[in-house]
A and B are shown apart, each in its own frame.
Chain A
């Protein structure tokens, strides 16, 4: 018991010592902005104006604001659909790339490109592709005979939502694919060989060998991606600006419009602060999932593998 305690102390010392740079960085760079943000959300601060404490007024107002409620609904729709599609596509992509074939390296590099392109150009490209004047999307659908009248992508609520989801999925899928692939490659071939000898079919092999191995990475990627997608701003702002009629106005676009266009900084930031609990829950789930308590993760992962 005593020995165990000594080890814990040594571990603790070691853990904080090697992470000193990280801790110092986070304290210096992040504490001020986060505290500032939370403080401002309780004031009536406008750009260039003084900040007077107004208590919960910003929050109360938001909760009665139909535009705010709508932005939350939009964010949920956007996030849930995007994450689900990215997760499925990313897993399949990783599985397909885990098979040895000629030109695999090239394929993998090519499939990576969407994630690596600067977002701002990607967004301009989608705007151009879906443009109702000269856009290629309509042209292709037209010549394939799917539509006989040009669709107005940014015009109807459903289609506009679809465009931001497409843009997000297109760019985000490689992230899932490559993260999962990296993990897949650490699964020893011997597992599969053994399973093959036991007569397991492809589906069984996937569910009983592959999936348990990559589950953690999938969940981790999904949670990371959820945090990013909820926080998505650039794509939506530059693609649809929140339109038409607010149908794609996600939370951050609403927040930015309030803070930067209408200059109501306090109220704009309150939007983001209201979302804090969601992120805290997500982060808690994530940490719980990834870091089992007690002996540290190594024993647990060993046990899991043994099962």
Chain B
């Protein structure tokens, strides 16, 4: 009993350390976002602002295109992450479940998009999008982003699907279900915890993307919020308070989505309940 209590205490301490490591930099962002421009450059940094001011938030929301940027980012990230799941789930499924001709090549080809870094790919992809007349348009970006979300989604889903027992599927076959039906009706719901966490990651990948958005979305109306934020930096003295206010605001949507979804991620043990 004693060792159980000790374990419990150690565990809580460890969680505490994790939280501090993850959140301290974010606290610093928050702290900075509440400071005036002058207080930022104090010789001795203040751990809590001497004078709390919401000026930088106000500036961001009223003087810049930040909200419009958030809207564009949200639109793009939601579309691309859902699109990626629907397009990449079948790939993950067949790779985890089936043996077919050319499987080896197919599995590699999915990952080929990671062969060249974005710092090189952005030029040809820009050329491609501009040939389609989609520059300065969120559609162009929606076309580009799956290049990095699709391989990720396809591959990260494989172990999730592989871990699901085939018993239910086999039973469904006997009941006359087609491959296609079992793929979506049986396996998909069972893989949902994995699918949801993958979707959120895919969402986050699009949410903060910078380089592709930079070259493709030039007009301020079409820009995503990372561009709006980087547009605040002039010369050699970044307005840290405004940047950090933007960071804080930008993390809210993703937190909401994650909190909504996270209750569905608990109790994964039930998913294993049907295992042999």
Which chain A residues have a beta carbon within 8 Å of chain B's beta carbons? 8-9, 11-12, 14-16, 18-19, 21-22, 25-26, 29-30, 32-34, 36-37, 92-93, 96-97, 99, 101, 104-105, 107-122, 124-126, 128-129, 133-136, 139, 170, 174-175, 178-179, 182-189, 202, 216-217, 220-221, 224, 227-228, 231, 233-234, 252, 255-256, 259, 265, 268-269, 272-273, 276, 279-280, 283-284, 286-287, 290-291, 293-298, 301-302
**B residues 125-163 with Cβ under 8 Å of A?**
125, 127-128, 143-144, 146-147, 150, 152, 154-156, 158-160, 162-163
B250 within 8 A of A: yes
Contact A139 B250 (CB under 8 A): no
Residues of A within 8 A of B107 (CB): 287, 290-291
Query: In whole angstroms, what is the CA distance A185 to B42 when docked?
Result: 47
Contact A186 B268 (CB under 8 A): yes
Q: Which residue of A lies closest to B146 (CB)?
A: A25
Residues of A within 8 A of B144 (CB): 29
Contact A108 B262 (CB under 8 A): yes
Query: In whole angstroms, what is the CA distance A54 to B168 when docked?
Result: 59
Residues of B within 8 A of A139 (CB): 44-45
Among the listed B11, B22, B93, B207, which residue makes an inter-chain contact with A111, where contact means beta carbons less than 8 Å apart?
A: B22
Q: Encode contact with A along B1-26: 1 for CB under 8 Å, 0 otherwise.
A: 00000010001101100110111011
B40 within 8 A of A: yes
Query: In whole angstroms, what is the CA distance A175 to B22 when docked?
Result: 13
B88 within 8 A of A: yes
- Interface residue SS majority, chain B: helix
B176 within 8 A of A: no
Q: Which residue of B lies closest to A127 (CB)?
A: B238
B223 within 8 A of A: no
B210 within 8 A of A: yes
Contact A113 B23 (CB under 8 A): yes
Query: In whole angstroms, what is the CA distance A268 to B243 when docked?
Result: 31
The answer to whether residues A121 and B250 also contact, given A30-B147, A220-B158 and a CB cut-off of 8 A, is yes
Contact A116 B207 (CB under 8 A): yes
B273 within 8 A of A: yes
The answer to whether residues A37 and B116 also contact, given A18-B183, A115-B204, A185-B269 and a CB cut-off of 8 A, is yes
- Interface residue SS majority, chain A: helix
B96 within 8 A of A: yes
B271 within 8 A of A: yes
B78 within 8 A of A: no
B244 within 8 A of A: yes
Contact B159 A216 (CB under 8 A): yes
Contact B113 A30 (CB under 8 A): yes
B36 within 8 A of A: no
Among the listed A118, A129, A291, which residue makes an inter-chain contact with B226, where contact means beta carbons less than 8 Å apart?
A: A118
B220 within 8 A of A: no
**B residues 85-119 with Cβ under 8 Å of A?**
86-88, 90-91, 93-104, 106-119
Chain B proximity of A215: nearest CB distance (Å): 10
Residues of B within 8 A of A117 (CB): 26, 208, 247, 250-251
Pairs across A and B, CB under 8 Å, 7 listed: A109-B258, A117-B251, A121-B229, A124-B233, A128-B244, A139-B45, A284-B108
Contact A129 B269 (CB under 8 A): no
Residues of B within 8 A of A134 (CB): 40-43, 45
Contact A296 B211 (CB under 8 A): no
Q: Which residue of A lies closest to B115 (CB)?
A: A279
Contact B266 A124 (CB under 8 A): no
B53 within 8 A of A: no
